[in-house]
Structures are given as structure tokens and as C-alpha cells.
Structure 1
Amino acid sequence: MTDSERRTDRRLERAILELLERRGPTTSICPSDAARAVYEGDDDGWRALMEPARRAAGRLVAAGDVEITQGGRPVDPTEARGPIRIRIRRPH
């Protein structure tokens, strides 16, 4: 992994946490929200950051900061296929 990729990964993690903090504890975001926040262009180049954003969310799940959901229920990030949402981790 290059230094640039590592910086992008850290920016995506920060963007996820910042977006969730701004939106409040009962909301969720799409990985595309973080990808768009980090992408510096004005075209659809943010799409290339979708998979890195999903991986960043997975790292935040492992750290205990967020949950990845499908259909409103938490799912294992390694098993999630298709659209996901990210939300602040809720106590179980």
C-alpha cells in the first residue's frame, strides 16, 4: 500500500466519523457519502473510492466505532454484499 493510499484510507475513516457525528446518533450514511466527501474533483471520480470507503467502514467496525447494516440490522462487513449503511455503534 502506498503512502497516498494510506492517507486516503485515514481520510475516509475521518469522513465517516465526522458525517455520522454531524447527522446524529439515530442516522446512518452510505459509503458514497464518505467517498464524495473525500474526493477532490467535481466529476464522478468519487466512485473509485467506494470500495476503499467500505473497507474503511470495516476497519471502524473492528475498532468498535460503527456498525454496518443492511435492512436496518447489523451485518458482518466481510459478509455484506450489495448496498450497506454505516451508523454509530449501538449498545446491544
Structure 2
Amino acid sequence: MTCPPDEANPGPEPDLEPDAAPAPSVDEPVRAAILQHCTAAGPGKSADVSAIAQALGGKPADVVPWRALIRRIRAEAAAMQDQGLIVVLRKGRPVDIRAAKGVIRLALAGAAAG
């Protein structure tokens, strides 16, 4: 049985920042690679996540490091999507990266296309 809060027992303190957003990712090498590939793709085009991973030195044959690198790219892309820097595409349509399954592509915000 719990007692209602009173002056002697005020109860738990409320959250000071209940809607505080998570801190943005700061994986600078990955961020730079994403921006470079999206910019190089040009207006109306998108970049392949695998190409970004290979540019960062990843090799698909090294399965465990490759998957870790893809996770890093997706995490940084999520932060960049939250900041409105890029658009994440699945089958040519914008999607939330956190809900996207399978192959995705990345494009600069405002220049997205399939």
C-alpha cells in the first residue's frame, strides 16, 4: 500500500526535462562519409550505404566488422535524419530509419529521389 505524498514524504521528484532529446551522434568519420557520398550523388540521386561502408574501409567478406560498420552508419544516419540533414529512402520512398528494414539509401534533404 502506498501513501499519498505529503510534506514529510513528497514522493519521487518529477523529471526536470521529460521531453529532452537524446544527444546527437558525433561519429565524425561516418558523418563525413555520408555527406560526401550524398553530395557526390547529386540532386535527385541517393547514396548506397554499402558504398559508404566500403569507403570507410569495410569489406563485406569480414562479416562481423562489416555489420558493426553498417550499424554505425545507420546510427549516424538516424541522427542526421533527426537534424533534417538527410532523407532515408526505402524503395525510393522516404522512411524513418528506425523503422526501415532491409536496404536503404541516403540522400541530402531537399534533393531526395529514387
In the superposition, the TM-score normalised over structure 2's length comes to: 0.63
Deviation at 1:35, TM superposition (A): 1.3
Contact 1:68 1:75 in 2 (8 A): yes
Partner of 1:25: 43
Cα pair 2:47 2:107 within 8 Å, conserved: yes
Corresponding position of 1:36: 54
Partner of 1:3: none
* Partner Cα separation in structure 2 for residue 74 and residue 80 of structure 1: 10
Counterpart in 1 of 2:71? 51
Question: In structure 2, what is the Cα distance between the partners aligned to 1:52 and 1:18?
Answer: 16
Task: Name the structure with the higher helix share.
Answer: 1
Structure 1: how far apart are the matches of 2:105 and 2:69? 16
1:46 Cα offset (Å): 4.2
- Kept in 2, the 8 Å contact 1:32–1:53? The answer is no
- One-letter amino acid of the counterpart of residue 48, structure 1: A
Structure 2 stretches of 5 or more lacking a match? Answer: 1-24
Distance (Å, rounded) in 1 between the aligned partners of 2:83 and 2:95 = 15
- Alignment check: 8 A CA contact 2:58 2:69 kept: no
Q: For the aligned residues, what is the CA RMSD?
A: 2.2
* C-alpha contact (below 8 Å) 1:68/1:86 kept by paired residues: yes
* Sequence identity percentage: 32
Structure 1 residue 78: deviation in Å? 1.0
Q: What secondary structure is seen at the aligned counterpart in 1 of 2:77?
A: helix
Query: Deviation at 1:54?
Result: 1.0
Gaps of 5+ in 1: 1-5
Whose radius of gyration is greater, 1 or 2?
Answer: 2
3-state DSSP class of the match of 2:94? Answer: strand
